[in-house]
């Protein structure tokens, strides 16, 4: 990947490139990576917006495929210089079985690693998650911690378990010899809760607020901090890591980086109100309207209903014991590791991130 003034020659592959984060990574690469010749976008479901990207100077190649199918992954990876693996099953609501979550997140990641090794691709960037660390099952707070902060990463839920296992696989693969004899260089990015254009849960809260007479009711104490990061900055971190992995392989190989920016530290609900407020909603209550034990009872009832109804229909509300526990446990990061290791500075200020998100929420329901 040596720097050159010649014609662009790099081939990148983005798995999950049609997802919420994946779309931003794809667009950011096209804007910010001048050395790109071809961009392969691999996803289970290809989006129609890919068509509009085909007219630009970079060859955009949509590949409909499944990361659980090793041969499909190997075919997509073959000849790529860099793989950005964002594909994953993001499910904390009980929509998919634990087996399916494991298959996509863990087996899918193993397939990506093996494909790199077999085909000689040397640089792999993995989208991990804050959830590989916490909140843990003990509900211990992680207050403005960094990549080296001691914390017991104990999980029972299949999503964080699968992300943690996949991250381990990626980091252990650093240094493995790929086809041709050179070492694989890997690293993992751990976003906190991502927000921005395309964030469906934000949209769901907006629609719920509209249905409730332009109100939402506070359920989480304002003092519980929940880490959030703007999708454009997460995408920018992926682009920078992909670019710097070769020249800084010694330093960055096998490393993890939290994704961060200047988004303020707030509770999950107060943070959402930064966008939903200007869209006309208000958050009722300075304290949770229902006590925690009652919310936990409702969340447990939801889980029970989900189980009972499963043979008939999929009942997967936002509130369940796991999501309540995450929202109720402080988890925020404060670090500059990405800045020290590869010169990351957020591309979007908090004001920009906020404005872009508000405009998206306003436009998303019309
Ligand atoms: N959304 C967040 O707040 C957040 C926070 C931290 C980490 N992450 C991680 O970021 C990544 C992207 O998350 P997202 O929020 O954009 O989710 P998303 O569901 O919007 O995107 C995931 C994409 O992966 C694709 N995909 C799923 N299964 C696949 C398979 N078997 N084969 C190929 N493609 C498949 C989906 O079609 C989708 O386009 C995930 O790995 C997730 O764990 C997300
Ligand atoms: C109790 C409700 C009252 O309003 C609020 C429930 C909110 C939850 C649905 C969300 C609270 C925290 C979110 C998660 C967090 O931001 C980090 C995540 C990591 C990422 O890898 C996947 C998404 C998520 C698990 C995210 C999902 C939604 C929440 C649980």
Is residue 159 part of the annotated active site? The answer reads yes
Cα 1 to middle of ligand 2, angstroms: 38
Quote the DSSP letter at residue 9: -
| 46 Cβ inside 6 Å of ligand 1 | no
Q: How far apart are the first and last CA of the chain?
A: 44
Collapsed DSSP state (helix, strand, coil) of residue 31:
helix
> Do 51 and 118 touch, CB atoms closer than 8 A?
no
In ligand 2, the atom with minimum distance to the C-alpha of 269 is: 4
Ligand 2 binding site (Cβ under 6 Å of any ligand atom): 90, 92, 129-131, 193, 201, 219-220, 268-269, 318-319, 323-324, 326-327
The pLDDT value given to residue 69: 98
Is pLDDT of 6 > 70?
Answer: no
Which residue of 13, 18, 19 sits with most ligand 1 atoms within 8 Å of its CB, as the best mutation to test the pocket? 19
Please give the mean pLDDT across all residues of the chain.
96
Is pLDDT of 346 > 60?
Answer: yes
| 66 Cβ inside 6 Å of ligand 1 | yes
Cα 296 to middle of ligand 1, angstroms: 28
Is pLDDT of 2 > 50?
Answer: no
CB atoms within 10 A of CB 108: 24
Residues facing residue 348 across a β-bridge: none
Domains of the chain, each with CATH number or no CATH:
10-196+228-261+332-347 (3.40.50.720)
Is pLDDT of 305 > 50?
Answer: yes
Distance separating alpha carbons of residues 166 and 127, to the nearest angstrom = 10
CA dihedral of residues 6, 8, 12, 14 (deg, nearest 10): 140
Paired tokens of 21: 């984060």
Residue nearest to atom 11 of ligand 2 (CA): 327
Query: Where is average pLDDT lowest: 3-12, 143-152, 264-273, 307-316?
Result: 3-12
Cα 126 to middle of ligand 2, angstroms: 21
Interval 66-84 mean pLDDT: 98
Interval 151-175 mean pLDDT: 96
% of the chain beyond a pLDDT of 70: 98
% of the chain beyond a pLDDT of 90: 95
Phi-psi region of 3 (alpha: psi -120 to 50; beta: other; left: phi over 0): beta
Nearest ligand, CA 202? 2
The pLDDT value given to residue 209: 96
Over residues 190-236, the pLDDT tens digits come to 999 999 999 999 999 999 999 999 999 999 999 999 999 999 999 99
pLDDT band at 61; cut points 50, 70, 90: very high
Is pLDDT of 8 > 90?
Answer: no
Phi-psi region of 32 (alpha: psi -120 to 50; beta: other; left: phi over 0): alpha
Out of 159, 195, 230, 322, pick the active-site residue.
Answer: 159
Which residue of 13, 20, 50, 231 sits with most ligand 1 atoms within 8 Å of its CB, as the best mutation to test the pocket? 20
Cα angle 44-166-303, degrees, rounded to a multiple of 5 = 75
Is pLDDT of 184 > 90?
Answer: yes
The pLDDT value given to residue 146: 98
Alpha carbons within 13 angstroms on the beta-carbon side of residue 237 total 32
> Do 110 and 73 touch, CB atoms closer than 8 A?
no
Paired tokens of 316: 């997967």
Distance separating alpha carbons of residues 72 and 87, to the nearest angstrom = 14
| 333 Cβ inside 6 Å of ligand 1 | no
Interval 333-354 mean pLDDT: 98
Cα 105 to middle of ligand 1, angstroms: 9
**C-alpha closest to that of 187 among 171, 164, 169:** 171
In ligand 2, the atom with minimum distance to the C-alpha of 318 is: 9
Residue 207: φ, ψ to 5° = -65, -40
- The pTM assigned to this predicted structure is 0.96
> Do 101 and 159 touch, CB atoms closer than 8 A?
yes
pLDDT band at 365; cut points 50, 70, 90: confident
Distance separating alpha carbons of residues 152 and 158, to the nearest angstrom = 17
pLDDT band at 364; cut points 50, 70, 90: confident
The pLDDT value given to residue 43: 98
Over residues 230-282, the pLDDT tens digits come to 999 999 999 999 999 999 999 999 999 999 999 999 999 999 999 999 999 99
| H or E stretch at 342 | helix 337-342
Please spell the DSSP secondary structure of 144-169, one letter per residue: EE-TT--------SHHHHHHHHHHHH
CB atoms within 10 A of CB 365: 10
Is pLDDT of 4 > 60?
Answer: no
Quote the DSSP letter at residue 107: I
Query: Where is average pLDDT lowest: 11-15, 151-155, 160-164, 351-355?
Result: 151-155
The pLDDT value given to residue 5: 57
């Amino acid at each position: 990947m040596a720097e050159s003034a010649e014609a662009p020659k790099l081939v990148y592959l983005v798995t999950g490139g049609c997802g919420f984060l994946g779309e931003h990574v794809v667009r950011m690469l096209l804007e910010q990576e001048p050395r790109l010749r071809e961009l392969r976008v691999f996803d289970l479901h290809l989006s129609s917006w890919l068509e509009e990207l085909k007219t630009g100077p970079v060859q955009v190649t949509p590949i409909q495929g499944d990361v659980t199918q090793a041969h499909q992954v190997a075919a997509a990876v073959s000849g790529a210089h860099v793989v950005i693996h964002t594909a994953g099953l993001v499910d904390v609501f009980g929509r998919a079985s634990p087996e399916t979550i494991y298959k996509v997140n863990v087996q899918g990641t193993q397939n990506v690693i093996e494909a790199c090794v077999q085909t000689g691709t040397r640089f792999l960037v993995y989208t991990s998650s804050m959830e590989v660390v916490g909140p843990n099952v003990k509900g211990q707070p992680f207050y403005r911690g960094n990549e080296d902060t001691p914390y017991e990463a104990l999980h029972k839920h299949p999503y964080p378990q699968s992300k943690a296992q996949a991250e381990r696989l990626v980091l252990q693969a650093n240094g493995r010899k790929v086809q041709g004899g050179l070492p694989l260089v890997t690293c993992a990015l751990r976003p906190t809760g991502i927000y921005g254009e395309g964030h469906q849960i934000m949209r769901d809260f907006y629609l719920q607020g509209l249905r409730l007479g332009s109100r939402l009711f506070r359920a989480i104490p304002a003092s519980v901090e929940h880490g959030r990061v703007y999708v454009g900055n997460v995408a920018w971190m992926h682009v920078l890591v992909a670019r710097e992995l070769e020249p800084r392989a010694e330093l960055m190989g096998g490393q993890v980086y939290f994704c961060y920016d200047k988004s303020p530290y707030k509770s999950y609900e107060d943070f959402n109100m930064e966008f939903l407020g200007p869209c006309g909603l208000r958050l009722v209550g300075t304290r949770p309207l229902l006590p925690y034990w009652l919310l936990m009872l409702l969340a447990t009832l939801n889980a029970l209903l989900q189980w009972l109804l499963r043979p008939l229909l999929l009942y997967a509300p936002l509130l369940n014991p796991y999501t309540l526990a995450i929202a109720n446990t402080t988890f925020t990061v404060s670090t500059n590791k990405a800045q020290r290791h590869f010169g990351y500075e957020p591309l979007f200020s908090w004001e920009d991130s906020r404005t872009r998100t508000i405009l998206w929420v306003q436009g998303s329901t019309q």
